[in-house]
Each structure stands twice: as structure tokens, then as C-alpha cells.
Amino acid sequence: MTLLTTWPESGPETTVRRTSDPAEIAAALAPLGVRYEQWPVRPDVPFDADSETVFAAYGPEIDRLNAQEGFSTVDVLGLHPSDDPGFPAKAKAAREKFLQEHTHDDDDEIRFFVSGSGIFYLHVNGEVHAVLCEKGDLLGVPRGTTHWFDMGTAPSFTAIRFFHEEDGWIGTFTGDGIAGRFPDFDTITAGYRA
């Protein structure tokens, strides 16, 4: 289930907002320019589905969003635990990169979660908004918005990524260590799902 938690940027000692109601989440994020939608979940799509399966299952939704936005690239990214001995190092490197606060100067960051989950932390107007996205959630972070993403220490998700620019994901890192002051994916999901 999706969860939005908002704190002052000074730290998580005080919670400004905590809700799992999709309408409240959308209403809270809209003034920030953040797109939040829920798409139908396709139960016949495996959690580790390949691109072809994902595109076939979500074609109408992808086409609708592409008609509105005119993306140059739409792809599928999956990161799931495997027997590959290199997986832990790969997952750790990916997590460390995205855990650093950054912006995107030339593109929005739009993701739809086909399976699994991740948390986008939006640092806007003196607050940090942690948006736990799960299967069926689409989140669009506007270009120029400071944010970071946490997939946890044992990442498992498949997401559709939408890009206006052909270069794909290009982050401009702020150098701020703010991400280290807030509860991470593992902490939030452990408390939420307990």
C-alpha cells in the first residue's frame, strides 16, 4: 500500500503528515507539481516480467501517458534478488547512487511500479515528502525538484521509466547529506508493514 510521510527538512522528529489514502496523497503532491496516479494492477504479470510482457500488459496506459507527454524513450528496469554472485554488489552500487540528493535539469523522473516497491524522497519548500510507491503506483517528479530514491538493502522491483530526453537518467547531485538524516526504505517499510 502506498504511503506518504512528510517531515520538516530539519529532520524526522516531527511528522507533518502520514497517509495511505491515494486521494490524499495525490492532493498533497499536486501543489508540488508531482504527478501521482494508480494504474490497474495486472495480476498475470510476473514480478520479474521482461520488457515485452510489461509493454503488452500496460500498453493502453503507456500509450495514454505518451500521448499526453510525448516521450522519446520508454523502457523497463528490473532489479530483483538472484543467484548471481554479483547481485549484492550491483544492488549496493545502484542504491548508493540514487540515495544521494539530486535533481534532473532536463527531464522529469516518471516511474510506474509494475512490481515491488521503492521510496522517492522529495525535498521541497522546507519539507521532505517520502512517497512509498508500490505495485500500481505512478509517480512523476518534475525536473528541478531535489529528491533521492531508496530501494532498500534487498531491492526487488520492476518499473516502467519514461524519458523526454533520449539521454535517459542524468542526475545533478547537490552534495547535501540530507538523505542520511531521514528514515531509509528498510526502516519505513518495517514499521509500516509490521
Positions at the binding site for Ni(2+): 102, 104, 109, 147
- In 10 A of CB 165, how many CB atoms? 16
The rounded distance, in Å, linking the Cα atoms of 108 and 174 is 17
Distance between CA atoms of residues 189 and 176, nearest Å = 24
3-state secondary structure of 41: coil
DSSP H helix total and E strand total for the chain:
5, 11
Phi, psi of 2 (to 5 degrees): -65, 150
Binding-site residue positions: 102, 104, 109, 147
Please report, as a single letter, which amino acid is at residue 43. Answer: P
CA 180, 23, 188: angle at the middle one, nearest 5? 25
Binding residues for Fe(2+), as ranges, are 102, 104, 109, 147
